[in-house]
């Protein structure tokens, strides 16, 4: 399960952000995970339960936004949704398409709790 490796890097990044904002702890982490990223949000969430222990994100909630594949056809210019195992152009059935979204693994947002003053 490589989701644990992904979580370790996630925690590193979140800790750095929390530190630079003098946060007491992390409240929420929002990720964008493409369905062609190779990461399963469910496995990522269970890995996160382990990876967060003893860190500033120990009590944090993890939210994942799933991003479905979208392609652009280089032949006819169409932009369209696609299935993960069929990235052809739905109009001309060309296979010369570029993936616009769907393979990303991005840390999008961190919500931090700080002592009010």
| Residues that bind another protein in the complex, under the rule CB under 8 A | 1-2, 5-6, 9-10, 12-13, 17, 20-21, 23-24, 27, 31, 36-39, 71, 84-88, 95-101, 103-117
Bridge partners, residue 62, by sequence: 29
- The answer to the question of whether 59 is labelled as a binding residue is no
- The answer to the question of whether 89 is labelled as a binding residue is yes
13 CB-near residues (< 8 Å, 6+ apart): 107
53 binds, among another protein, Zn ion, none (CB under 5 to 8 A by kind): none
Report residue 6: phi and psi, to 5°. Answer: -60, -40
Candidates 109, 17, 3; CA nearest to 55 is 17
- The answer to the question of whether 7 is labelled as a binding residue is no
- Considering the complex, what minimum distance in angstroms separates the CB of residue 54 from another protein? 19
Choice from 53, 75, 100, 108 touching Zn ion (CB under 5 A): 75
Structure tokens given for 102? 């769907």
β-pairing verdict for 79-81 and 97-101: unpaired
Binding-site residues from annotation for Zn(2+): 73, 76, 89, 92
Binding-site residues from annotation: 2, 73, 76, 89, 92
């Amino acid at each position: 399960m490589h989701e644990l490796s992904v979580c370790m890097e996630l925690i590193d990044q979140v800790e750095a952000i929390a530190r630079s904002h003098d946060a007491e702890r992390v409240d929420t982490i929002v990720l964008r995970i493409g369905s062609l990223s190779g990461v399963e949000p469910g496995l990522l969430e269970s890995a996160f339960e382990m990876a967060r222990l003893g860190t500033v994100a120990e009590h944090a909630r993890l939210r994942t936004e799933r991003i479905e594949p979208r392609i652009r056809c280089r032949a006819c210019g169409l932009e369209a949704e696609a299935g993960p195992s069929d990235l052809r152009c739905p109009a001309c059935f060309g296979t010369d398409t570029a993936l616009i979204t769907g393979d990303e693994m991005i840390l999008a947002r961190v919500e931090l709790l700080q002592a009010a003053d």
